Structure 1
Amino acid sequence: MTAELVRGQNHPLSQSRLEIRVSAGTPIVAAATLSDTDGKVHGVEWVAHPGAPTLPGLEVSRQAAADHRLAVDLDAMPEAVHRVDVLLALPAGDGAGPVRFGAVAAPFVAVTGLDGTEVATYTLTGLDAESAVVALELYRRQGAWKVRAVGQGYAGGLAELLTDQGLPEAHQLAAGINEAVARGLARSVQAPPPRTAEGDRTRQAAAPALGHDQGGAAPQSAPGPVPPVSPYGPQGSYGGQLPGGPVHPAPQPPYPGTPDPSPVTQPSPSTAGGPIDYSHPRRRNAAPPPPPPAAPPTAPGQPARPVAGDATGWSMDERLYNQVWGMFEDLARTTAAYRSAVDFAESRMDKELEQVLSDPRGRIGGQGDAAREAARAKHDALVEQAREALDRDLIQLTAEAEVVEPALPPAYAGWDNPVWHGYRVPREMPMALRLGDLYLPEAAEVRIPMLVRLPLERGLWIDSSRAGSFDGAFTDAHEVRHLAMEAAVAHAARLLAVHPAGEFTVHVIDPAGSAAQPLAPLVGTGVLATPPASGAGGVAEVLARLTQRVDLVQMALRGAAADALPPGFDTSQQLLIVNDFPHGFDDRAVNQLRYLADEGPDVGVHLMMVADREESSGYGPLLDPLWRSLLRLTPVPDDHLADPWVGHAWTYEPALVPPGSQVLEQVLTQVAAARRDWNR
């Protein structure tokens, strides 16, 4: 049965050898890009286009035509490739053809088996000023391949599309593709290879795309470094940003599936101030080991059982980190597909009802009632079909969460995870930290751990305002402040627990002494560097000490004189928890706080504010840059974290210690004992 996809919807692929058939009302150019687990295209050698039509497992046409057939062999894809994007573009530069997809019939794309049986189809509706579009993506997930309808258009054409995929040579490559099409390479297209008795396309040896200096048709430059791109966009209205993103563990070779001929270059001792090895002690320059194989399916046609750590990476921590972000992406996309289908069903019903009402004869009587009932029935059927697809994906995600959550290390695990019962102070800092859970209203039962990379790149703001309550149940300002401080203590305790002994230090400013009860676990176990500072004098002393530390480290780094730091200088990461801001802060203290927020993270000084922004409004716009620089978290569930990637607002739930649990005290006791041993 053919799956008729809407934008954002996916469908499993049961065959590895496929054809992608494209039909359009005008000649168009077809191309494809290969990308890794992060969605990065590492160079022009990862792009199949009319000037270089073949890559391992992939072949596109050399011509611009109204109909295309792209050959895909997923089994022949290099291990480094996890996604194939199918691109369509209107030829540029001839001055005769259309310049935007809105002026032509909507392109139609079908994924078929080699016998011509359609697996999935997608009509690219809604395009207007765009002249290039990502039509489909084939992506690898848990050892299996799926197809997703994308339909992302670009008014800037191929150059803008390729730039968005991270290619530094995007404009040169786009010009080369248009030149190859304009030069009429279609005249030399070979006849399609014969089919075997089974209807299979015979394999052809795939050669890498060549640049113009190597005999290739299109001018291409050597692949350059691709900057890391986070799939999560700008901040939300409250400064909420989903940080992190999948790990790209190692530099990939310049061409998928081939070794990298260039060795890794280390900094020169003459320029770095000494022989420094910047490589991770556990990492090698070789490719990471493959993930463990997925368990066999429970029955024919059923998806494979989820396996914890099935993503790529050198260590299990890296694999689990990437798997968690893969789960986040799957939930985001399947929910986006459901919402899109519901919107389509509602818009179609509204249109049909409008047509009924526009005819005076259909407003009354049995004919009008029947038309309205038919429109509502179509709407309900479409919504039910979309919900069934969503539920099917949620069942798989739930099953994956059930095997992933118990396998998480302490840095990624919730406080109720049994892994904390066997906690030992680590010898190495983890790559990420769990700050809470994320979920969407359509799938509240599927909770995705919210992981942020370490060391922290921005400070945290624990919102103690009553407006932070998701359901409005918390109306007592004192109760919300108490919960906010408990959340801050839980985050600080986790940061202490996941760092090696002596490599993380916590300071607390509590001007009025109002947080004595929530701070009891930190104070009682002795993990704080000094007792919580109170009063205006205590605030000034702590801020002066930390700002001086930032200044000293910055000067040492700029002068390449790390050895010149004072004897006994504490080189550990520093965290400052500020409670009840702005009480106890004068203008000088506020400026010092802003300085720490701006300059501190680069030299290992981090800020955690527990504050109600409304109470700070007296400072006016002076504090706006401070709030924007912090990641806003709440002590109660709140749907404030923005996800411009697919347009969702995620509900954040803090990672709090279960009521009555002694896990926090037990963990901090071990941290304090390890710190004492380290100081001896």
Structure 2
Amino acid sequence: MTAELVRGQNHPLSEARLEVRVSAGKPIVAGATLSDEQGKVRGVEWVAHPGAPTLPGLEVSKQAAADHRLAFDLDALPETVHRVTVLLALPSGGAGPVRFGAVAAPFVAVTGLDGREVASYTITGLDTESAVVALELYRRQGAWKVRAVGQGYAGGLAELLADQGLHEARQLAGSINEAVAQGLARSVAAPPPRTPDGDRSRQAATSAPGPDQPHTGPQIAAGDATPQQSPYDAPGPQGASAPQTGYQGAPAPSDPSAVTQPSAPAVGGGINYSHPGRQNAAPPPPPPTAPPAPPGQSAQPVAGDATGWSMEERLYNQVWGMFEDLARTAAAYRSAVDFADSRMEQELDKVLSDPRSRIGGQGDAAREVARAKHAQLVDQARMALDRDLAQLAAEAQVVEPALPAAYARWDNPVWHGYRVPMEIPMALRLGDLHLPESEDLSIPMLVRLPLERGLWIDSGRAGLDDALADSDQLRRLAMDTAVAHAARLLAVYPVGEFTVHVIDPAGSGASSLAPLVQSGVLDGAPGVGAAGVADVLAKLTQRVDLVQMAVRGGAADSLPPGLDTAEQLLIVNDFPHGFDDRAVTQLRYLADEGPAVGVHLMMVADRDDAAAYGPLLDPLWRSLLRLTPVADDHLADPWVGHAWTYEPALVPPGSQVLQQVLAQVAAARRSWNR
């Protein structure tokens, strides 16, 4: 699970070969310094920067870019190096911003070569600083750790390098800026911006929602916990003697969790299109780009208009970009309204504090002026919001029909041409998200696969309007929602790579479970009664134990022949009915240990019903992503402080698409088992 660091916090590193991925929304310089046990940089030869991008065990980008991948091999560093400092700086002498307070908060993530995110840090609180120490990788008692630093320097690179103990700080800063300027001069002009306001910075994470994953950038906090966006899973380069970045002579392709328009490579410079998980393969052609819009008009939206190595990845990144754009524009609108309210209150207080203004019409006139200014500010903010919402709505209209089945609603025609896939998709749609300012604009809520956390389908009434549904209706809707999610998971996984188990102690979910049972896609009949609960839990607990022992012992090939190694999903309906103390303990064990070995929970329950167990189950609820069977504004976005309304991805009433898809899944399973 990704560690989301705050300033000063550290986290252990279990791997020696790592990448540090940086996203800032605007071109910045990325570099690194090596320092000894006393924290001193011994000379310019201990600094990796665009003019000298490679040191033993370390490589950085050769020019300024909005996104960077810095490659590290900690075992290859000299023994005298005890600390590696990752530094970021704004290019000097250009037309861009000169302080970090004028750009989006930089985001940095430490990942393995397989793309798995180890730790992340969003550098907030910067203002006049033009250089910042982002992270430190340091030795401690024979092991490496990463620490979030976030120390800014208003004096720029020169001040930062001098603080590192480098005597030639000013000369080195000048040579770095010169190398960056030469790189920018050689660069091909970037494509036109997608919106009249310039670049659209996209940081996905997740996290969030997907937006769960949403992750990094806006992340969705469900219940008591914030879901993590899992990284893109792809093996690293093979046979490399030292870590390499994706591009040689240009920044690496954009980090999937922080997507922006890529910087262009240098003219005449060779480009190595190697990419984790893809050997000797050139990337697909870039997505179609609409012609530049006439002055004063927005660019025509295009599906897949984001960076990525496949259309699926580009659409995923585009959806996350739309989510972030909506979050930003709503935050800007709310901030403008708050400013207008505060200004009007100050002006009215000033008027009322003068006794002379209460005589005659002077006070009334001042009040009218203050209210007119307030209305003007609010109207201007609303116009900007409406403009952005119209652009996003136009983009949603072209993106939604182009989504693959895993990302699409159940009423999307893509399901009518459904075929069992050969590969696991990057993400799964769990529903839609919207804000009060955008009731007519919904953003797909995507979570990364394989799942990193289970799901809790809330069948309770907490926070819901009394007019929505009675208790029985909510329980039925909650189970329908669980079945729709389980069917989607079965549909998007290759045959034999996903298994669903069901515990329904009282049989109350039989009608909702009918599509799964009748199609034959379940591992077995739903567990009913105390005996059924015990059987299913014992089977999955044994699987977790066996896989854990095999992995820890380095003997994954020695698993029993009949063991199902597919991803497992356990649907538990009407908890805690039918659960004794032993069953509750086993469920907690599956929740804690299962996700690491491919066993996930989907609880369909009212949390109040489980209150009898006291605090025993609190960690269980906090570890699950809470979803509701009806629209509810329970998903919190700590990035900009929004409460997002979630709507579940349900099958349209009367539609047979669920049965048709499950029939194909069942037929593929039968053929595979022959």
The 3 A distance-change label for structure 1 pair 572 and 476 is same
2: CA distance between counterparts of 1:586 and 1:510?
Answer: 14
- Equivalent in the alignment of 1:483: 477
- Equivalent in the alignment of 2:55: none
The 3 A distance-change label for structure 1 pair 608 and 385 is same
Give the C-alpha shift of residue 189 in structure 1: 10
Q: 1:637 aligns with which of 631, 641, 660?
A: 631
- Equivalent in the alignment of 1:502: 496
Give the C-alpha shift of residue 444 in structure 1: 1.4
The 3 A distance-change label for structure 1 pair 259 and 39 is closer
1: CA distance between counterparts of 2:492 and 2:27?
Answer: 30
2: CA distance between counterparts of 1:260 and 1:136?
Answer: 19
Give the C-alpha shift of residue 41 in structure 1: 8.0
**1:401 paired to 2:427:** no
- Equivalent in the alignment of 2:8: none
The 3 A distance-change label for structure 1 pair 325 and 170 is same
**1:134 paired to 2:101:** yes
Q: Which amino acid aligns with 1:231?
A: T
| Matched-pair contact (CA < 8 Å) for 2:29–2:64 | no
**1:652 paired to 2:639:** no
2: CA distance between counterparts of 1:496 and 1:408?
Answer: 18
- Equivalent in the alignment of 2:38: none
Residue identity (%): 63
Equivalent pairs counted in the alignment come to: 532
The 3 A distance-change label for structure 1 pair 440 and 313 is same
**1:239 paired to 2:224:** yes
| Cα deviations by residue, 1:208-239 (Å, 9 ceiling, x for unpaired) | 9xxxxxxxxxxxxxxxxxx9993257774713
- Equivalent in the alignment of 2:511: 517
SS in 2 for 1:365: coil
| Matched-pair contact (CA < 8 Å) for 1:135–1:152 | no
1: CA distance between counterparts of 2:612 and 2:148?
Answer: 49
2: CA distance between counterparts of 1:371 and 1:172?
Answer: 46
Q: 1:205 aligns with which of 168, 175, 182?
A: 182
2: CA distance between counterparts of 1:626 and 1:34?
Answer: 32
SS in 2 for 1:134: helix
Answer with 1 or 2: which has the greater Rg: 1
Q: 1:619 aligns with which of 609, 613, 618?
A: 613
Q: What is the root-mean-square deviation of aligned Cα atoms in Å?
A: 4.4
Q: Which amino acid aligns with 2:343?
A: R
SS in 1 for 2:457: strand
| Matched-pair contact (CA < 8 Å) for 1:577–1:608 | yes
1: CA distance between counterparts of 2:411 and 2:561?
Answer: 42
- Equivalent in the alignment of 2:260: none
| Cα deviations by residue, 1:303-349 (Å, 9 ceiling, x for unpaired) | 22111112111111111111110111111111111111110010000
| Cα deviations by residue, 1:245-294 (Å, 9 ceiling, x for unpaired) | 78598889659762699xxxxxxxxxxxxxxxxx9997337774463242
Give the C-alpha shift of residue 161 in structure 1: 6.4
Give the C-alpha shift of residue 361 in structure 1: 1.4
2: CA distance between counterparts of 1:482 and 1:411?
Answer: 24
SS in 1 for 2:182: coil
SS in 2 for 1:435: strand
Consecutive unaligned residues in structure 1, runs of 5 or more: 1-32, 57-76, 84-108, 115-119, 123-131, 140-149, 194-200, 209-226, 262-278
**1:178 paired to 2:166:** no
The 3 A distance-change label for structure 1 pair 136 and 185 is same
Consecutive unaligned residues in structure 2, runs of 5 or more: 1-19, 34-43, 52-61, 69-89, 107-121, 138-144, 186-204, 208-214, 238-242, 253-273
1: CA distance between counterparts of 2:402 and 2:370?
Answer: 48
Q: Which amino acid aligns with 1:440?
A: L
2: CA distance between counterparts of 1:661 and 1:411?
Answer: 18
2: CA distance between counterparts of 1:82 and 1:159?
Answer: 16
Alignment of 1:277-676 (within 5 A): 283-284=278-279, 288-289=283-284, 291-467=286-462, 469=464, 471-676=465-670
2: CA distance between counterparts of 1:138 and 1:544?
Answer: 48
| Matched-pair contact (CA < 8 Å) for 1:243–1:452 | no
Q: TM-score, length-normalised on structure 2?
A: 0.70
| Matched-pair contact (CA < 8 Å) for 2:357–2:363 | yes
1: CA distance between counterparts of 2:473 and 2:302?
Answer: 41
- Equivalent in the alignment of 2:261: none
2: CA distance between counterparts of 1:543 and 1:576?
Answer: 9
Give the C-alpha shift of residue 53 in structure 1: 13
| Matched-pair contact (CA < 8 Å) for 2:435–2:645 | yes
- Equivalent in the alignment of 1:258: 249
Q: Which amino acid aligns with 1:337?
A: A
SS in 2 for 1:569: coil
2: CA distance between counterparts of 1:294 and 1:501?
Answer: 36
| Matched-pair contact (CA < 8 Å) for 1:468–1:634 | no
The 3 A distance-change label for structure 1 pair 187 and 285 is closer
SS in 1 for 2:662: helix
Once the two structures are overlaid, the 10-residue window that deviates more, 498-507 or 296-305, is 296-305
Give the C-alpha shift of residue 363 in structure 1: 2.7
The 3 A distance-change label for structure 1 pair 113 and 236 is closer
| Cα deviations by residue, 1:611-631 (Å, 9 ceiling, x for unpaired) | 000011000000001000100
- Equivalent in the alignment of 2:6: none
Give the C-alpha shift of residue 299 in structure 1: 3.2
The 3 A distance-change label for structure 1 pair 242 and 296 is farther
SS in 1 for 2:406: coil
**1:153 paired to 2:140:** no
| Cα deviations by residue, 1:34-93 (Å, 9 ceiling, x for unpaired) | 9448999895169xxxx999969xxxxxxxxxxxxxxxxxxxx9796359xxxxxxxxxx
Q: Which amino acid aligns with 1:342?
A: V
2: CA distance between counterparts of 1:447 and 1:292?
Answer: 23
2: CA distance between counterparts of 1:546 and 1:205?
Answer: 60
The 3 A distance-change label for structure 1 pair 288 and 344 is farther
Q: Which amino acid aligns with 1:205?
A: Q
Give the C-alpha shift of residue 502 in structure 1: 1.2
